[in-house]
């Protein structure tokens, strides 16, 4: 039985409320969940402790339906259902930091289902699994190749609880359709790599540079390594610009709702208890006091950014306390060309404006990666 603090018990009463979780619907829909299925599954859940189990059960149902479709010779249907099963597993584990065993089991099912899905792609369209050596282990990722050679490379930097098989795949499809090569990976403390390397804010940019090193050393994919961009949302909205500042091979960066400043232990204690659990989970620590050395930063401490930056900031961010501080800090820190996009009623990662934001990012990257 998971032991919750009094503060967590109070906070988690509101997690299942429509007002709270409807903020994430657009995100869930973007990587392949049918809206009707989303509403049906959530309708069966009466408390936060059921969240992971119920979504995992739905994923198991879809996985079996996909296997049945495959036996019947319906590969297109099977592929779609394997992807939707992956999405269900991801939703189940999403911010479910209160039970790492359930979380990890659901993530593992997501990885298995994703492998089944991409095995049904034509070879020229299939995401390519790449494992990049790093600090005695390997950074796991998937490469989506553009239809034409010598196109730019977009490296997508995950947030606190993204996984490469769900959101990484969905975003990769959009970038690939628009002529970009796209690499999505699980970094330190994220997804598959969490088992081997826990999160450390001081080491993350080194991992990103190791990815670029690997692509420079492996030229068989015919990628234009003179045109590299980093894109990140949420925690990745900080990690992408920060990592770009440390590696001059990156030509531009995009950050969306980046957590630019922590503020030490006091800052961690201001986070919602859900995200506090995320901090200890990612770092592998038992308490915020133990985790603060690995999960504390100020963008002003990184080398100033000299390349073009596109940064999104919202006025209705339920994840970050004092969101205006983050936009102000990153604009002062960035010394090259910089563009700040502000949505007053926008929610975390502009989730309620993605129909505008995604095409805008594509256009901006096309201009900066000429």
Are 21 and 143 in a shared domain?
A: no
Same domain for 161 and 91:
no
The secondary structure of residue 261, as a DSSP letter, is B
Instruction: Tell me which of 76, 101, 126 is where a domain ends.
Output: 126
The pLDDT of residue 19 is 57
Any domain includes 280: no
Radius of gyration of the chain (CA): 20
Q: Domain residues for 115?
A: 13-126
The CATH number that applies at residue 113 is: 1.20.1440.110
What's the whole-number mean pLDDT along residues 290-313?
97
% the chain with pLDDT above 70: 95
State whether 194 and 74 are in the same domain.
Answer: no
The confidence score (pLDDT) of residue 47 equals: 83
9 vs 17: CA distance, rounded Å: 14
In this structure, are 21 and 157 located in the same domain? no
Confidence of residue 25 (pLDDT cuts 50, 70, 90): confident
pLDDT at residue number 18? 52
The mean pLDDT value of the chain amounts to 93
Does residue 333 lie in a domain region? yes
Whether residue 289 lies inside any domain: the answer is no
Question: What tokens appear for 48 in the block?
Answer: 């936060």
Most confident among 9-18, 52-61, 268-277 (mean pLDDT): 52-61
Same domain, 159 and 17: no
pLDDT tens, residue by residue, 141-171 = 999 999 999 999 999 999 999 999 999 999 9
- Of the pLDDT bands very low, low, confident and very high (cuts 50, 70, 90), residue 11 is low
Same domain membership, residue 206 and residue 324: yes
- pLDDT given at position 46: 86
> Which residues are CB-neighbours of 297 under 8 A, at least 6 positions away?
201, 238, 242, 261, 262
Number of domains in the chain: 2
Give a yes or no: residue 283 inside a domain.
no
Please list the alpha-helical segments (H only) found in 193-300. Answer: 204-217, 235-246, 264-269, 273-283, 288-291
Q: What is the pLDDT of residues 351-360, one digit of tens each?
A: 999 999 999 9
- pTM more than 0.85: yes
Residues 135 and 104 placed together within one structural domain of the fold: no
Strand ranges in 19-167 using DSSP code E only, listed in sequence order:
128-134, 137-144, 151-157
266 is a domain residue: no
Whether residues 249 and 231 share a domain: the answer is: yes
Question: Does a structural domain hold residue 271?
Answer: no
pLDDT at residue number 370: 85
Determine the average pLDDT of the residues in 264-273: 92
User: Same domain for 69 and 150?
Assistant: no
Q: How confident is the model at residue 20 (pLDDT cuts 50, 70, 90)?
A: low
- Assess if residue 236 is contained within a domain: yes
Same domain? 183 vs 226: yes
Confirm whether 89 is domain-assigned.
yes
Last residue of a domain, which of 92, 110, 126?
A: 126
User: Average pLDDT in the 227-233 region?
Assistant: 97
CATH code at 187? 3.40.50.1820
């Amino acid at each position: 039985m998971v032991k919750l603090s009094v503060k967590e018990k109070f906070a988690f009463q509101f997690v299942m409320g429509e007002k709270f979780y409807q903020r994430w619907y657009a995100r869930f829909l973007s990587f392949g969940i049918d809206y009707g299925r989303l509403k049906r599954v959530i309708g069966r859940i009466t408390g936060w402790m059921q969240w992971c189990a119920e979504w995992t059960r739905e994923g198991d149902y879809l996985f079996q339906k996909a296997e049945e479709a495959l036996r019947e010779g319906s590969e297109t249907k099977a592929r779609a259902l394997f992807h939707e099963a992956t999405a269900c597993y991801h939703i189940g584990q999403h911010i479910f930091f209160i039970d790492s065993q359930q979380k990890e089991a659901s993530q593992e099912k997501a990885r298995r289902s994703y492998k089944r899905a991409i095995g049904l792609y034509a070879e020229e369209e299939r995401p390519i699994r790449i494992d990049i050596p790093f600090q005695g282990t390997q950074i796991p990722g998937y490469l989506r190749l553009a239809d034409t050679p010598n196109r730019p490379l977009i490296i997508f930097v995950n947030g606190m609880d993204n996984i490469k098989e769900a959101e990484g795949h969905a975003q990769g499809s959009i970038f690939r359709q628009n002529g970009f090569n796209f690499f999505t990976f699980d970094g330190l403390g994220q997804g598959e790599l969490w088992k081997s390397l826990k999160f450390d804010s001081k080491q993350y940019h080194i991992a990103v540079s190791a990815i670029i090193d690997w692509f420079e050393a492996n030229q068989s994919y015919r990628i234009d390594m003179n045109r590299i961009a980093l894109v990140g949302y949420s925690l990745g909205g900080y990690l992408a610009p920060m990592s770009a500042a440390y590696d001059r091979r990156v030509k531009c960066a995009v950050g969306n709702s980046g957590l630019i400043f922590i503020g030490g232990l006091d800052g961690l204690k201001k986070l919602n208890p859900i995200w506090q659990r995320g901090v200890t989970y990612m770092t592998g620590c038992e308490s915020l006091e133990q985790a603060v050395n690995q999960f504390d930063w100020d963008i002003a401490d990184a080398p100033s950014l000299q390349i073009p930056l596109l940064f999104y900031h919202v006025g209705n961010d339920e994840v970050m306390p004092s969101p205006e501080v983050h936009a102000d800090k990153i604009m002062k820190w960035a010394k090259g060309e910089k563009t700040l996009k502000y949505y007053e009623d926008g929610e975390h990662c502009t989730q309620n404006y993605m129909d505008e934001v995604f095409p805008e990012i594509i256009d901006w990257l096309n201009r900066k990666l000429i």
